Amino acid sequence: MSPMRAVKNLKIDAGRLWDDLMQTAAIGATPKGGICRLTLTELDRQVRDWFRARVEALGCTVTIDDMGAMFARRPGQRADVAPIAMGSHLDTQPTGGKFDGALGVLAALEALRTLVEASYETFAPIEVVNWTNEEGARFAPSMIASGVFAGVFSRDWACARKDRGGESFGEALEKIGYRGRQRCGDHRLSAFFELHIEQGPFLEAENKDIGVVTGVQAMRWYEVTVTGEDRHAGTTPMPRRRDALLGAARIVEAVNACTRRYPSAVGTVGVLEARPGSPNVVPGEVFHTIDLRDPDADVLDRLEKEIAAEASRIGGELGLSVAIKTISAEPPVRFDAGCVAAVRAAAAKSGYSGRDIISRAGHDAAFIARVAPAAMIFVPCKDGISHNETEYSSIEQCAAGAQVLLQTVLDYDRRLAEQFGK
C-alpha cells in the first residue's frame, strides 16, 4: 500500500496493547500493584529482552547504542531517509506505576504491529525507541541517554554517574549486557514522537481525550550537602550542637516557602540522607536534592538565588557549611511546529477531543527536540497521579493515545514522501 493513500482505516488493537502493559507490569511488580524496575538492573534486562523479542518477531532490526538506548527499525521504501521514531522508556520509579514510560514504548510497538499486519509500507523507515534511565531514580539526573544523544551530557560524564551503592552507570550497563556498539547520537532521525500519560490533572478535569504537547517547562536539579559535626547524642548539650539534619530541615522548609511565592513554580526535595545514620549520633552531614520547575526560566533564576541565600543564612546561624551543586539545568522547550501540527491533525482525524498543553514533567522528547523535530501526545491519568503505584489510565485512554500516535506517524510519513518528491 502506498503512503499516499488514505490510512484512517488502520486501527490499533486495544486489547493487545493492554495485554502488553499488564505483561510488562509483571516484571518488577510490587505488592501494591505498581512496578519497581530501576534502570540497568536485572529487571530492566528482563523487560529489554521481552521488548527485543517482540520487535524482532515483527522483522525489525534492533540497534543498541553505547548508552543502552534501543532502536527497533522496520524498513521503509527509502533506506536513505532517516527514520521516523516513536517511543519512550521502560525504567520506573521505585514505586512506579504501570503506564509512565511503558505506555509510550508499548503503544509504539502496537502501532508497528498494526503496520505489519496491514502489510503497509511506509515511505521512511519506522523505529521504536526505548531510552535508558529516563527516570533518574537510580542514576541522577533523569534522561541521561537521550541527553547524551542530544549532546547535553558527555558520554564519559554520564557513564561515571553512580547510584547510592557506588556502582557507576557504565558498570551497570555492562553488567546487564546492553552496551551497544553504535556511538550514542550517531543515529539520524527524521522526527520523534512520544506518547505519555499526562501525569497531571488537566485533561481529566476538562474531559479531553488527547493533550497536544507544545513544549516542556524549564527544570533544574541540585545536590545539596550540609556539613556540621558528628557528636554523641546523649552527651552534647543542645547549644553546642552543629546538627546538619536540623539545617537541612530548615532548607527544605525554605524551598517550600520560596517556591510558593511564584504561582506556577514547583519545588521538591525528594531525597534526604542523614549521616552517619545512627540513633544516638547527632548527624554531621546530610545530602539532599532539590528539583525546581517553572515554564519561565527567569522565575527559576530568581528562585535559585532566593533558596541559595536562605541556605547560606541557615548555615551561618547553625554553624554549618552548605554546598549546592547544579547537576541539571534545562531551559523550557518548544516542540517543532510541524510535529505539533501533525499530532493535532491526527487527534482530529481519529475523532478525539484535544487541547494544547505544556508538559510540566521532563521527558526524553525534550532533549531529542534539540537534534530532531519532536512532539508529544498526552492521555489522561486518573486524578493526575503518577510516580505512584496507583497510577492509572483506562484501556480506552491508552488505545486513544496509541491510535493518535499511529496516525501522527502516518501523516508525518506522507509529508516526508511529498517533501522528497515521491
Query: What is the band of 421 on the pLDDT scale with cuts at 50, 70, 90?
Result: confident
- Which of 330, 364, 380 corresponds to the end of one domain? 330
Instruction: Kindly state whether residue 1 falls inside one of the protein's structural domains.
Output: no
Contacts of 88 (CB under 8 A, 6+ apart): 101, 102, 103, 104, 105, 108, 129, 130, 131, 134, 194, 195, 196, 363, 364
pLDDT of res. 218: 96
Strand partners, 96: 35
Residue 175 pLDDT greater than 90, yes or no: yes
Residue 266 pLDDT greater than 80, yes or no: yes
Query: What is the band of 310 on the pLDDT scale with cuts at 50, 70, 90?
Result: very high
Residue 7 pLDDT greater than 70, yes or no: no
- Do 262 and 199 fall into the same domain? no
- Do 244 and 125 fall into the same domain? no
> Residue 84's closest CA among 114, 48, 112, 52?
112
Query: What is the band of 422 on the pLDDT scale with cuts at 50, 70, 90?
Result: low
Burial of residue 277 (CB within 10 Å: 0-12, 13-18, 19+) is: exposed
Residue 6 pLDDT greater than 60, yes or no: no
Instruction: Kindly state whether residue 8 falls inside one of the protein's structural domains.
Output: no
> Residue 405's closest CA among 136, 237, 212, 150?
212
Phi, psi dihedral angles at 317 (to 5 degrees)? -70, -30
Could you list the residue range(s) of the whole structural domain that residue 317 is in? Answer: 218-330
* CB atoms inside a 10 Å sphere around CB 123: 25
The CATH number of the domain holding residue 224 is: 3.30.70.360
Residue 186 pLDDT greater than 90, yes or no: yes
* Cα–Cα distance, 45 to 150 (Å, whole number): 24
Residue with the bigger pLDDT between 422 and 407: it is 407
Question: pLDDT, tens digit, for every residue of 22-61?
Answer: 999 999 999 999 999 999 999 999 999 999 999 999 999 9
Residue 9 pLDDT greater than 90, yes or no: no
Helix (H) or strand (E) segment spanning residue 325 = strand 321-330
* Cα–Cα distance, 252 to 274 (Å, whole number): 13
CA atoms lying within 13 Å on the CB side of residue 279: 0
Query: Could you tell me the three cell numbers for 136?
Result: 533518574
Question: pLDDT, tens digit, for every residue of 49-93?
Answer: 999 999 999 999 999 999 999 999 999 999 999 999 999 999 999
* CB atoms inside a 10 Å sphere around CB 291: 20
The CATH number of the domain holding residue 93 is: 3.40.630.10
- Do 165 and 291 fall into the same domain? no
pLDDT of res. 4: 42
* Cα–Cα distance, 135 to 41 (Å, whole number): 13
The single-letter DSSP state of residue 268 is: E
Alpha-carbon Rg for the chain in angstroms = 23
Instruction: Kindly state whether residue 248 falls inside one of the protein's structural domains.
Output: yes
Instruction: Kindly state whether residue 116 falls inside one of the protein's structural domains.
Output: yes
- Do 128 and 230 fall into the same domain? no
* Cα–Cα distance, 242 to 311 (Å, whole number): 15
- Do 123 and 133 fall into the same domain? yes
- Do 269 and 415 fall into the same domain? no
Question: pLDDT, tens digit, for every residue of 85-142?
Answer: 999 999 999 999 999 999 999 999 999 999 999 999 999 999 999 999 999 999 999 9
DSSP of 193-244, one letter per residue?
EEEEE--SSHHHHTT-SEEEEEEE-EEEEEEEEEE---EETTTS-GGG---H
Residue 5 pLDDT greater than 50, yes or no: no
What pTM value is reported for the model? 0.87
- Which of 330, 356, 374 corresponds to the end of one domain? 330
DSSP of 58-100, one letter per residue?
TTPEEEEBTT--EEEEE--S-TTSPPEEEEEE----TTB-SST
- Do 247 and 393 fall into the same domain? no
- Do 106 and 203 fall into the same domain? yes
Question: pLDDT, tens digit, for every residue of 154-169?
Answer: 999 999 999 999 999 9
Instruction: Kindly state whether residue 2 falls inside one of the protein's structural domains.
Output: no
* Cα–Cα distance, 251 to 254 (Å, whole number): 5
- Do 279 and 357 fall into the same domain? no
Query: What is the band of 3 on the pLDDT scale with cuts at 50, 70, 90?
Result: very low
- Do 161 and 76 fall into the same domain? yes
* Cα–Cα distance, 372 to 381 (Å, whole number): 28
Question: pLDDT, tens digit, for every residue of 196-229?
Answer: 999 999 999 999 999 999 999 999 999 999 999 9
Name the domain count of the chain. Answer: 2
- Do 122 and 253 fall into the same domain? no
- Which of 305, 330, 355 corresponds to the end of one domain? 330
* Cα–Cα distance, 218 to 331 (Å, whole number): 5
- Please tell me whether the peptide bond between 331 and the residue prior to it is cis, using omega within 30 degrees of 0: no
Instruction: Kindly state whether residue 272 falls inside one of the protein's structural domains.
Output: yes
* CB atoms inside a 10 Å sphere around CB 110: 25
Instruction: Kindly state whether residue 6 falls inside one of the protein's structural domains.
Output: no
- Do 110 and 206 fall into the same domain? yes
Instruction: Kindly state whether residue 7 falls inside one of the protein's structural domains.
Output: no
